[in-house]
Chains A and B, each alone.
Chain A
Amino acid sequence: MELKIEAAAKGIKYKKNKEDRINIFITVLVILGAMLVLFPIFWMIRTSFMTNLEINTYPPALFPKKWLFSNYPEAMKTFKFLLYLKNTLSIVIPAIVGVIVTSCFAAYAFARLDFKFKSFWFSLVIGSMLMPGAITIIPIFIMWSKLGFTNSYVPLIVPAFLGGGAFNIFLIRQFMMTIPKELDEAATIDGAGHLQIIFGILLPLLKPVLISVGLFTFILYWNDLLGPVIYVNDQDKQTISQGLATFKGGFGTNWKSLMAASCLASVPAVILYLFGQKYFIEGIVLTGLKS
């Protein structure tokens, strides 16, 4: 009997050891991978502080001899970071509001209400996720130019208020389904209307998924290049992505300035991510992506 227990304990111990070894192996692999992943970012930062002479020496140095902060003001003479930041935010902020409000409304209808043709609309909305948006740029451009909105941000912002994206609606709906319906019912008995239920009860509970949706939307708009190059012509109205692409077009291989500009373009997004990351995965995990 005792022998058996000992043998079993040994077996468990052996298995434990083996699992530990696998874990160590994975840890080493993952850390090496992380270093490779970080390398381009490190190279961007390191180059942004170098002189052109240093950049073009062979073999390349890992770190600049002297950290040249003056590259940044120099780059900002042509890459008008603060102006671009203001422009981009004046698109991104309304867009996030639009996406969150309209996709919450749609998700509420799908998660909480019974209505005619519900499954038809649901499959149509979810199906539109598969729609490649770049196909229709020309008729949509013609529509906006007939309405007189070219060279403005209207064509970039308004779509956010028209549905807010099928994926976001789906995420929020899934998350809403996990919230007990009794909460709404109790509120209804207390005399709350639909708006009060959405904004007073559901919205606070949806915080993790709304942060994810907000972050996805931010990245989507921050990255967008096709929209701005079609609709924004004025130099002074350009967005960050557009400004950087223009800068790259004009200054081809002035790498120190290009890297300084790239660093600047990345900073706001990284800061926002660091604030939101706690909720980032949670927001998606809890929705249960199944079905």
Chain B
Amino acid sequence: MRITKSHKDNIVAYLCLSPAILGLLFLTIIPIIGVIGISFTNWSGLAEPTFVRFDNYVNIFTEDFFFYKSALVTVYFAFGAVITSIIYAFFISIMLNQRIPARGIIRSIYFIPYIIPVVATNVVWSWLYDCNFGAFNFVINSLGFDKSLFLQGEKTVVPSLILIAVWSTGNLIVIFLAGIQNVPRAYLEAVEIDGGNTWHKFRHVTVPMMTPIIFFNFLMSMINNLQVFVPAQALTKGGPNDSSLFLVYLIYREGFMKNNFGYACAISLVFFVFIAALTGFIFKTSDKWLFYEGK
């Protein structure tokens, strides 16, 4: 009797999981094997692929100036955007959790940028950043500073794009707010009874209790931001002078505009190894600052 029930449970469970397992197989595992295989060829998608051994990788590291620049600006953008937006979202959500008037409406305002489609956001900000008639240069100019080139300047393009990313990071705020709700009230009251003030509560209860969520947000937004694509495609086309040539845009350009499938796959694989190593590193260091209840 027991055996048949658990046997039946097994069948039902695998039926329930079959879409997810098929997805893992056809959208993750087989494609990764594909990336590895194609990266050793010069396939253009049309003619038969020829095996070229490590040529693509040799090219990436010795001849391709695009790759270095691209890797550099991608990492610059991702770290800048992640660190800034985590700090911004964390403090905003702490404040949005206080007893302030019209809290619901104010919260919604901070989420709205996340709801605006990313392409629209980028288009709107490119107008704010406009060199001649943009609102930002008007403000900068009125304050007596020199106008900035923003998206058209080699040095300013990535910081400008980071600001757009930070502005639209409502999802981090939502997840932080959800996490703050789970900080046990009893702990906060305990600090109060011991004579602690708002700062103590923040420093010794809220922040430690939130570290798992900070970790989650940090990791997920790092992985997302490393794959930045929209601003390069919609605004800068990788420019000026390749200063916003993000890796996914480079992969797209090599693969779909130049039909160098083999080369694009080699870049993808190098990028994948980098992300995996970074993820591993983040996990490893997390022991040092992660706080789990009951530990």
Contact = CB atoms under 8 A, between A and B. Distances in A.
Interface of A: 18-19, 22-23, 26-27, 29-31, 33-34, 37-41, 43-44, 47, 55-56, 58-60, 102-103, 105-106, 108-109, 113-116, 118, 121, 124-125, 128-143, 145, 159, 161-164, 167, 169, 194, 216, 219, 222-223, 225-226, 229-230, 240-242, 244-245, 248-249, 253, 255, 258-259, 261-263, 265-266, 269-270, 273, 277, 280-281, 284-285, 287-290
B93 to A, nearest CB: 10
A164 B171 CA distance: 19
B6 A114 contact: yes
Of B116, B179, B182, B234, most A-chain CB atoms within 10 Å: B116
A193 to B, nearest CB: 9
Interface of B: 6, 9-10, 12-17, 19-24, 26-28, 30-32, 34-35, 38, 45, 92, 95-96, 98-101, 106-121, 123-128, 130, 132-133, 135, 138, 142, 167, 171, 174-175, 177-179, 181-182, 197-198, 212-213, 216, 219-220, 223, 226-227, 229-230, 233-235, 248, 251-252, 255-256, 261, 264-265, 268-269, 271-272, 275, 279, 293
A289 B99 CA distance: 23
Contacts of A26: 95, 98, 100
A30 B35 contact: no
Q: Which 10 A-B pairs have the closest CB atoms?
A: A139-B34, A162-B23, A163-B23, A163-B20, A136-B31, A115-B13, A109-B16, A262-B120, A284-B178, A105-B16
A220 to B, nearest CB: 10
A233 B34 CA distance: 24
A57 to B, nearest CB: 8
Given A113-B16, A121-B17, A161-B19, A222 B212 contact: no
Contacts of A241: 117-119, 230
Contacts of A167: 220
Nearest to A265: B120
Contact of B127 (A41, A43, A113, A143): A43
A290 to B, nearest CB: 7
28 contacts: A19-B198, A30-B96, A40-B128, A113-B9, A113-B13, A115-B9, A115-B14, A125-B20, A128-B28, A132-B272, A132-B275, A134-B229, A139-B38, A141-B255, A143-B34, A219-B114, A225-B229, A229-B233, A230-B256, A245-B119, A248-B119, A248-B126, A249-B234, A255-B133, A265-B119, A270-B112, A273-B111, A280-B111
